[in-house]
Amino acid sequence: MEKLIITAAISGAEVTKEHNPAVPYTIEECVREAGLAYKAGASIIHLHVRNDDGTPTQDKNRFKAVMDAIKAKYPEVIIQPSTGGAVGMTDDERLQPTELKPEMATLDCGTCNFGGDDVFTNTENTIKYFGKRMIELGIKPECEVFDKSMIDMALRLAKKGFIKSPMHFDFVMGVNGGISGDLRDFIFMRGSIPADATYTVAGVGRYEFTLAAAAIIDGGHVRVGLEDNVNISKGVLAKSNGELVEKVVRLAKEFGREIATPAEARVILGLK
Ligand code: KMH
Ligand code: ZN
């Protein structure tokens, strides 16, 4: 079986230090959390950035400062900026980190409720606009799908030339407004992508490690991190993103799955 790519979603936009004090806001905190995740076995860092007070921002200069600081210490790690940003941001605000021409970036493939009154909006034209931009800049999109219908949207837009194949998906499962993280739904999602596509799964909250185990067994890849889940086990806060990655590495060992280095992840995902 292919080696396991672990992505660490270290920061997010909605989770705060009130949820878990290890959530990084400053540049130094982002480097610390990225480093702990990388040293534990993550080859990709899914990155949101904040101002020092914790407010989310898609400012290109802040992204550059954080990415440069991470790369200075861990040059080989793959950094995957978010183009999802935070609920309510405009398309052009969200697209700013693509100007830095990262190897990868997220491409959110549909609209969904996001808890309370929040709606995470990605119209068809937004997805086309983001997809086209990523093709122009040579950025590999990770198609973030919060529901089965978003896989269908991504496939339709790939047919029309807005997303290149082989495609790479991230099944984000368990968001309050998206598909649940039940195994039945995981099987439905993973059976709905093309044979040449790769996928990672991000189980939100209590689904993080059950879905990690399912993807490890299935030959998929895994995303964990404080963006998706703040607990290492029921009611116990994770000390760091590194601790969450360590748990995935332990599970992978039990099932005989080796961990991909960033160089190996680049080959699996067809990154330049
Ligand atoms: N913060 C969410 C509204 C992504 O990174 O592309 C969107 C999100 C998805 O986290
Ligand atoms: Zn994200």
Q: Give all domains of the chain, ordered by start, each with its CATH number.
A: 6-269 (3.20.20.70)
What 3-state DSSP class applies to 250? Answer: helix
pLDDT in tens, the chain (272 residues): 999 999 999 999 999 999 999 999 999 999 999 999 999 999 999 999 999 999 999 999 999 999 999 999 999 999 999 999 999 999 999 999 999 999 999 999 999 999 999 999 999 999 999 999 999 999 999 999 999 999 999 999 999 999 999 999 999 999 999 999 999 999 999 999 999 999 999 999 999 999 999 999 999 999 999 999 999 999 999 999 999 999 999 999 999 999 999 999 999 999 97
Between CA 67 and CA 75 the distance in angstroms is 10
Nearest CA to ligand 1 atom 6: 84
The residue assigned the tokens 């493939």 is 109
Pocket (CB within 6 angstroms of ligand 1): 13-14, 82-84, 86-87, 106, 108, 114, 120, 144
Q: What is the pLDDT of residue 265?
A: 98
- Nearest bound ligand to the CA of residue 9: 2
Q: What is the model's pTM?
A: 0.98
Locate 234 and state its tokens: 């029921």
Predicted confidence at residue 272, as pLDDT, reads 78
ipTM rounded to 2 decimals = 0.99
**CA torsion, ordered 150, 152, 156, 158, to nearest 10 deg:** 70
The number of the ligand 1 atom at minimal distance from the alpha carbon of 120 is 3
Residue from 82, 171, 173 whose mutation best tests the ligand 1 pocket (most atoms within 8 A of CB) = 82
What is the Cα–Cα distance from 96 to 113, expressed in whole angstroms?
24
For ligand 1, atom 1, the nearest C-alpha belongs to 86
Contacts for 244 with CB less than 8 Å, ≥ 6 apart: 8, 37, 208, 224, 225, 226, 229, 232, 238
CA of 241 to the centre of ligand 2 (A): 14
Beta strands 112-113 and 119-120 are antiparallel
Nearest CA to ligand 1 atom 2: 86
